[in-house]
Structure 1
Amino acid sequence: MIHNCRTGSYGKIIFTHSNDLLIFNEAAYPGGPFYLFSLQLSTGVKTRLAQPLVGLGGYSQLDLHPTENKLLISATDSQFLTGLYVIDIENHTFYHLFNSDGGAVWDHSGERIILLGGYPTNEIVSLDLNGGDRAVVYSNSHALFGLSRHPNGVGYLFSTGSRDRNITYYSMKTASQSTLAATSVDERLARFSYHNHSVAYISLATGREQVWLYDFNTERRTLLTKFDKQHQIVDLKWAFNGRFIFVLTHNMIFQISVDSGHIKQLKIPQTEIAGLSVKDDNTIAFSLKESDKWRVHSYDILSDKLTSEDPNWQFVSFSEVVDDIIWQDIHGEYFTGLDHTPVTSEKINAIPMVVQSRFNLQKRGSRWLWQQVKSRRYQLYQYDELKDRQKLLITSDSSDFDWHNDKLLYNSVHYVNSDIYTASPMN
């Protein structure tokens, strides 16, 4: 035995280009974040590598450069964004490459990055070290995972099969759950309507992301939109009166008529958008990124007028109930209601408000709900501020949920089978 890992740690071990040195990651406790270490076999000396501040899950994905003692690592930060970094083992330094979702490895030359891209991670793509010069190595209709270099020095190994996200309905009163939408493709971003027994969600059933409606009374599913281009949709919001559904991508917002399915792109500058919410029947709110800072904006859907709000606020999540409105200022502090009452709970102030461009923190009276990552899954917690009581409700496979009265919608991943394949770049 060369090293006894801590109980509950199940990290990865790789040899470097030195036969006397190996690299491994280890968690201090079961479900804890992974840190990276080196181990010199001749002396048994264990050294913690120079590495960025640990992300939510630590550093569980790592790949050794084909010819140099450099590690490519990925980690998820508090906003659930995945960053790619290089650790120079010999020089005890590290540096950031770029942000990207999906697993990544060095290419066989060590001069480019190979990663899983597209949606739903159905492509293997090649990028330069700045995240540019994109080239598709392989594309499939199913999601890909488990990417690695092939020992033949040319191709790449990966797994694919029937793995899709389904929508699950959960009753907080009875702690019972049932499947609302389940097909052989992804269904996600399920949202309760405010005015009736309908749910809007995104499905790939037609081969392209579209908005679908589900009726709880009839259990009927109906296609609402016919987008003619692929959009990576990150959030949906119902209008309070049920007339429209607003669709958020990373840099666009669409207004969908529930009666006709008509799609209207709102007149918003092409910049990064996050934190979409509905203010009233004629106004939506969201945040635009300007000079690397977020600022709340409002948009009048009747006049198509965009208004910049007080620069002190970077995010606001509006609600039909005034006391449940949540604000976050430029210092990261939380406030509620139209009178901006400060949130004094240290527990709540430590929770990320926005995750993957949508709101992660929600409030109903004295109760708060949010998700946090543990062991690469997402735990949904409820906290009653008056009773100072926290409760784990569910553990899911996606950083998204919706809450209406005492009902929840969230995603679960369904696995049927998987096989291992190889793909080689076209010359």
Structure 2
Amino acid sequence: MSQKIAGPKGMNDILPGEVEVWQHVERTARELFSRFGYGEVRTPTVEDTALFVRSVGEETDIVGKEMYTFEDKGGRSLSLRPEGTAPAARAYIEHSVVNQEPLTRWFYMGPMFRYERMKTGRYRQFHQIGAEAYGSKEPAQDVEIMDLVVQLLQTLGLKDVSLNINSLGDETCRPAYQEKLVGHLRAHVDELCADCKVRLERNPLRVLDCKVERCQQIALAAPSILESLCEPCREHFASVQRKMGALGIKFEINHRIMRGLDYYTRTTFEFIAAHPVLGTASTVGGGGRYDKLVKSLGGPDVPAVGVGLGLDRLCLLLRESGQRFGQPAQLFIAVADEGSADEALALASRLRREGLRVELDTRGGSLKSQMKRADKVGATYTLVLGELERTSGQAQLKPMAGGEPVPVKLAELAQTLHAAKPAA
């Protein structure tokens, strides 16, 4: 007997019964994002490794430890994308989009890849929904991006998700803060994990993003970056807060939010869920402003702000919400005798062309087994088709939830089903 082949660890199959939740989130996001004027962009799953080294940061864990990087047959170093912002920025530059529209709003959906320690809500192939806005340096654009997520969560019916915001300053004021931070960290250098001792020398801000508990405790006592903001950054952050208030969006200021990527400047934020199903992977989305990323990748000097949402985590929360997803069959056709099989297949085909969801067990079998199948698929109605029904052109439409069968003409079946009250 041949050995079974399993899927790669941390890269999950999404099967019917579960995929309907995903489809619901994706449909909801597409509809909502279009209301905000965001168009969908689709970038390759694989990019030049240099894109992520230059954007995400060579000293980040993502580039240093987590990327799936390989050499192709042409000797080029390629990587499976670990996040969506850098590929979108690359596409924005490559296609000279700034010359076509000064304000550009994009969204994307798709798989990302990081070789991480797996736990609930954190996988090696994970899925993101993201939005990026290029061309506006105004605080209003930061707020619009956050409002986009707030409205998506509300539309999905997800509650108990808090919004934390911070400002990371910019190249003017961040160096002064970094000096204060380094002084604090050096006083506790012996307590830092091995990775953070390296980060202290190469990129001290990354220490604040460490997940090791003792490093988190040191980070808690670190000076706040908000005390070191220059006046333009302070005004920008104050304007963000004021506009959030005007929209009625609740938020908390959290000076410890740094995010795990090097390209962020000024506004940064995270959406954090309180539900225990996520365990320690409680951040369902996050992002911020990255005004220098496009230029650093060889593009024009265009400001930008964006957000990424964990689709896997959103779906975990939705499955716990008790909501129902997917659309059951409106009709199950049960075949009473072998001579009616072709007629049943033709009837199902005709009804499907009429836009109806119709199930038919092509294996046939006893009526009892077919009715069990109708119940399993959650059909709203069943119709038994046999010689009597074929010759008379009449049948009985049986509600699976209970109630009296409804006489129906086979020629008028589509109109009857379209007019029928949907299942509760």
Indicate whether the TM-score tops 0.5. Answer: no
In proportion to residue count, which structure has more helix? 2
Q: Which has the higher contact order (CA 8 A, sep 6+)?
A: 2
TM-score, normalised via structure 2 length: 0.18
Which protein is bigger by CA-based radius of gyration? 2
More strand by share: 1
TM-score by length of 1: 0.18
